[in-house]
A and B are shown apart, each in its own frame.
Chain A
Amino acid sequence: MHRLRHCLLVAGAVFIGTVVAAAQSPGRERGRDDDNGPLGRPPRAGPPGRFEPGRLLPPPIRAELDLTEEQERQLDDLEREVKGRLLRILTDTQQQKLREHRRPPPGGFDGPPDDAGPPDIDAPPAQRSRRSAPKKLSPPAAAAAAKPENAPAAIQWYATWDSGLREARRTNRPILLVSAAPHCAGVSGIW
């Protein structure tokens, strides 16, 4: 019963996502026939938003609902869950087709970086790493994975891209990159 409910949830999300994607036709924003539209906001520059797997409400609708902070948080959690489940259902080939439906960002794709620029994440498949989707390890390999009992208290982070990249190049080690704002709702002291 639980499994059936999850399947229905994911199917519903896929259906809604498909309807939203079909509605996001190029060259026309919803409700934005004049400068400030019925939503009272100026139209966004550039093409309409890209199809995003897992997105349940298109941004203009979401903005119109004037959700509370708690509702925003719950909706984010729900969209993340749906997106995660959807991407686990799809094969690598299907995920690739989904990505091909996504329009390029305003200004086009970023080219390969020269020094510390962006990775070529939207490059054609031939140029992309085959490692974009992690493969699940077989049981013996999984058992050989990192043992936590000797782990340090926490990860030691490099705090700037330049310093971390320098170290990665020096040692030829891969990079684990995260970014977060050291404040929330304007209040510092919390991520």
Chain B
Amino acid sequence: MDRSFLSQPNVIAAAQPFVCIRLTTYEDKKEGAFLKSFHVTGSGELENTVFAILSPDGKRPLVRASRSARDTFGDADQMAVALTRIAHDYEAKSRAGQGLPALPLVANVRLAVDVAACDHRPLVVLYAPRHDDLERLEAQLTPLAWSDDFLGRFIYVRASQPKELEMVSGVSVPTGVLIVQPDRFGQHGNVLTQVAAAAPANKLVQCLQEGLEKHQPESESFRVHVRAGHEQGIFWQTVIPVTDPMERRAREQGRRP
């Protein structure tokens, strides 16, 4: 993924009026079929990346869809300008002020740990075996997630069974919120800080802040990361087959002894 545009301050600012959706390619059958339908590849197959800007009903493209923001816009400044123009067109019709957005949850813990590693962000796990407790935790966390202090700084996921947390070490609360440091390859996590579900609201805020302070993002080049992963036998199994010809070839080469 070309992250250079999406980490530019002017693009981040211009993206705020949008609902920003980032899917993980090859991790959901239905989403895979949807992404493939954009037809942005020469192979006719779903490939690693897709980029689009759509109307609120998700049906109409507002710019030319492509493999990346760079393909569509050429540079980050043009992207920011286009986002601002589109946002302006929708401003009068927006109902953004009505109610809080939902907590942006990743589908499962395994994927969430990987995404957190990719993003160099700490992972917030809402953990409770009972559905009611989980809903309550989510209601507490949602306004914090969208607040200025924490916006864009965490990845979020829910878990309700102990086996979902097998890849996370250091869990000591029966229900609560865990702030997790993903490992280098997003295959395991360590709890940085945690708070029980019954704790007061200010404890939750402190827990999030402490998690941010303790989190240590990895910093290495793409080449070093991939080479080390191959040497250590790291291999990510996708939910649906990888159909990007280059990625498929690279995966096969990486698995050769």
User: Contact residues of A with B, CB < 8 Å?
Assistant: 46, 49-50, 52, 55, 59, 63, 69, 72, 76, 80, 83-84, 87-88, 105-106, 110, 112-113, 116-122, 128-129, 131-137, 141-142, 144-161, 163-191
Q: Cβ of A150: which chain B residues have Cβ within 8 Å of it?
A: 13
CA distance A72 to B47 in the complex (A): 14
> Separation in Å of the B31 CB from the closest CB of chain A?
5
Contact A172:B245 (CB < 8 A) given known A59-B42, A182-B24: no
Partner of A179 from the list B17, B24, B250 (CB cut-off 8 Å) is B24
A185 touches B20 (CB 8 A): no
> Separation in Å of the B111 CB from the closest CB of chain A?
7
A180 touches B25 (CB 8 A): yes
Q: Cβ of B186: which chain A residues have Cβ within 8 Å of it?
A: 182, 188-189
Interface centre among A105, A119, A137 (most CB of B within 10 A): A119
| Interface stretch of the complex, out of B132-140, B170-178, B197-205, B226-234 | B226-234
B58 touches A147 (CB 8 A): no
Contact A175:B85 (CB < 8 A) given known A52-B42, A133-B63, A190-B225: no
A174 touches B19 (CB 8 A): yes
B234 touches A187 (CB 8 A): yes
> Separation in Å of the A18 CB from the closest CB of chain B?
16
CA distance A135 to B9 in the complex (A): 21
CA distance A105 to B44 in the complex (A): 7
Contact A173:B73 (CB < 8 A) given known A134-B63, A156-B151, A188-B186: no
**Ranked 3 nearest A-B pairs via Cβ:** A118-B37, A187-B229, A148-B9
Q: Cβ of A144: which chain B residues have Cβ within 8 Å of it?
A: 84
Partner of B93 from the list A147, A153, A156, A172 (CB cut-off 8 Å) is A172
Since A137-B84, A167-B19, A182-B118 are in contact, a sample of 14 more A-B pairs with Cβ atoms closer than 8 Å, ordered by chain A residue number, is A50-B42, A121-B65, A149-B9, A158-B19, A160-B31, A173-B18, A178-B21, A179-B23, A181-B242, A185-B251, A186-B255, A187-B236, A188-B234, A190-B225
B78 touches A117 (CB 8 A): no
Contact A116:B34 (CB < 8 A) given known A159-B115, A181-B48, A189-B225: yes
The 11 sampled A-B contact pairs (Cβ below 8 Å) are A131-B63, A149-B9, A154-B7, A154-B152, A164-B20, A169-B57, A171-B96, A174-B18, A174-B55, A187-B230, A189-B218
B53 touches A113 (CB 8 A): no
Q: Cβ of A129: which chain B residues have Cβ within 8 Å of it?
A: 55, 60-62
Grouping DSSP codes into helix (H, G, I), strand (E, B) and loop, the A interface class, with mixed when no group exceeds half, is loop
B64 touches A133 (CB 8 A): yes
A175 touches B9 (CB 8 A): no
B1 touches A178 (CB 8 A): yes
Contact A176:B81 (CB < 8 A) given known A129-B61, A171-B94, A181-B25: no
B53 touches A175 (CB 8 A): yes
Q: Cβ of A84: which chain B residues have Cβ within 8 Å of it?
A: 70-71, 74
A176's nearest neighbour on chain B, judged by CB, is B18
A185 touches B254 (CB 8 A): yes
> Separation in Å of the A157 CB from the closest CB of chain B?
4
CA distance A120 to B60 in the complex (A): 6
Q: Cβ of B74: which chain A residues have Cβ within 8 Å of it?
A: 84, 88
Q: Cβ of B69: which chain A residues have Cβ within 8 Å of it?
A: 178
Q: Cβ of B14: which chain A residues have Cβ within 8 Å of it?
A: 145-146
Q: Cβ of B48: which chain A residues have Cβ within 8 Å of it?
A: 180-181
Q: Cβ of B56: which chain A residues have Cβ within 8 Å of it?
A: 168-169, 171-175
